[in-house]
């Protein structure tokens, strides 16, 4: 009777020899690896093609959902960026208009300043003119006419 390599009865896998040598040298994974005679034992991990396809389809559905979530976030971000760019373009387009308006405002301020100075000069000139006119009127004091004063002198002479 031929000696079996493994308890499962099948031929030993090539990597099982490496695992057995590592285990014999004391370089195992701390008790988590199996001795070489258990390596080819029947395992629960034997998947059929249908199970593997179903698992791949499940993973694909999950990845598609994640991809859609990321795509929707990117679309939201891009729409927000587009809206921000429109507002920025409107602001930039308004800058020349604001500059023209500020230029007009500057002209208006200069015009108002010159008008105020002109009004000040006009009021000062009017004040000087009125002062000079009043000064000329005050220089001629109202005096009684000699006809009015003479009878008073005549009357005073008679009483004396």
Q: Count of alpha carbons within 13 Å of 129, Cβ hemisphere only?
A: 6
pTM score of the predicted model:
0.34
Q: Residue 137 in 3-state DSSP?
A: helix
Mean pLDDT, rounded, of the chain:
76
Judge whether residue 1 has pLDDT over 50: no
Distance (Å, whole) CA 84 – CA 91: 11
Say if residues 11 and 39 touch (Cβ distance below 8 Å).
no
pLDDT of the residue at 99: 81
CA distances in angstroms from 103 to 93, 94, 117, listed in the order given: 17, 14, 21
pLDDT computed for residue 4 by the predictor: 47
Q: Is the pLDDT of residue 2 over 50?
A: no
């Amino acid at each position: 009777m031929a000696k079996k390599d493994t308890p499962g009865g099948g031929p030993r896998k090539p990597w099982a020899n490496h695992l057995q040598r590592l285990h014999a040298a004391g370089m195992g994974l701390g008790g988590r690896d199996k001795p070489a005679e258990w390596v080819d034992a029947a395992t629960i991990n034997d998947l059929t093609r249908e199970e593997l396809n179903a698992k791949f389809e499940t993973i694909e559905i999950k990845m598609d959902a994640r991809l859609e979530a990321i795509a929707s976030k990117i679309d939201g971000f891009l729409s927000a960026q587009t809206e921000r760019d429109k507002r920025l373009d409107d602001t930039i387009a308004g800058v020349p208009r604001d500059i023209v308006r500020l230029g007009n405002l500057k002209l208006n301020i200069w015009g108002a300043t010159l008008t105020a100075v002109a009004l000040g000069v006009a009021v000062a000139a009017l004040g000087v003119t009125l002062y000079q006119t009043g000064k000329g009127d005050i220089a001629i004091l109202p005096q009684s006419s000699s006809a009015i004063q003479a009878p008073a002198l005549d009357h005073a002479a008679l009483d004396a």
